[in-house]
Amino acid sequence: EAYQDLIYVLDASRNAIFVFEPTSYGSNINQAVGLRYNGDETKAVAVWKKVLEMDSNNEMAYSGIGKAYLSSGENKKAMYYLKMGVNKEYYSIAYKRYRNELLRENLSWILTAILVGSILLRVSRRIIKSRIRRIRS
């Protein structure tokens, strides 16, 4: 049973009740989860970073930071943290959003390059064909 951040455990074999209190590590994780649940992503990121200072391999912290960045539209940052957190589901979402963002930003350049390339290809074919005709005649 939990009450006011304390966990009470009844041990029937020892006929005793044990009271556990969370460590600062556990408290930070609980706080970060609560902040994200309440929609305060910015504060949650700060707390998750504290968790990473204590345990640089905490996948939950990386995922929490990645989800916060994803929510705020910072897809490239989200991809990094979600990859570190081995969160394939949200990484895929961040990747798709980042890819679409890049396409939107560069679509005009891409289409222009394709158009110019196809025009150059057609012109070069005509030039080659005309030179071949001159050589044959």
| Count of domains observed in the chain | 1
Output the six-digit token pair for 59. 């996948």
In a domain, 91, yes or no: yes
Residue 102 lies in a domain: yes
Residue 2 lies in a domain: no
Question: Is residue 74 included in any domain, yes or no?
Answer: yes
CATH number at residue 32: 1.25.40.10
User: Residue 56's domain spans which residues?
Assistant: 24-106
pLDDT band for position 3 (cuts 50, 70, 90)? confident
pTM > 0.85:
no
- Which residues lie below 8 Å from residue 27, measured CB to CB, with a gap of 6+? 5
Note the pLDDT tens digit of each residue in 20-55. 998 999 999 999 999 999 999 999 999 999 999 999
